[in-house]
Amino acid sequence: MTRRKFTAKFKSKVAIDALKERESLAVLAQKYELLPQQITNWKREFLEGSESVFEGKSKSKKTESQEKEDGLLKIIGQQKVEIDFLKKALS
């Protein structure tokens, strides 16, 4: 028998359904054709990883400012090369 592979989207859907607690684990297990322990594991992983969702927003702002800074440094470097070239040409 081959092992089934589940997408992250499917796992999160099952975990969210379990967190809603509208249906018991046994009902959810039957609905999604899973073992109740598997749903419990995904639910735990979902809760443990939920903090990273909000941390990602501040990191993306950092990368945007870093990209701007890198772009500006690149322009400064190009201008420095041009200035040095013109100084040599004039001497």
23-52 pLDDT per residue, tens: 999 999 999 999 999 999 999 999 999 888
| Tally of structural domains, the chain | 2
pLDDT at residue 54 in the model: 79
Nearest one of 59, 48, 56 to 12, comparing CA atoms: 48
Distance CA 48, CA 40 (A): 12
| Same domain membership, residue 34 and residue 13 | yes
- What pLDDT is stored for residue 61 in this prediction? 62
Do 65 and 90 lie in one domain? The reply is: yes
Q: How confident is the model at residue 20 (pLDDT cuts 50, 70, 90)?
A: very high
Clarify whether residues 80 and 38 are in a common domain.
Answer: no
Residue 77: domain span = 57-91
Q: 27 and 69: one domain?
A: no
Side chain identity at residue 60, one-letter code: S
Q: Are residues 63 and 40 part of one domain?
A: no
Same structural domain for residues 7 and 45?
yes
| pTM, 2 dp | 0.58
**Are 63 and 38 members of one domain?**
no
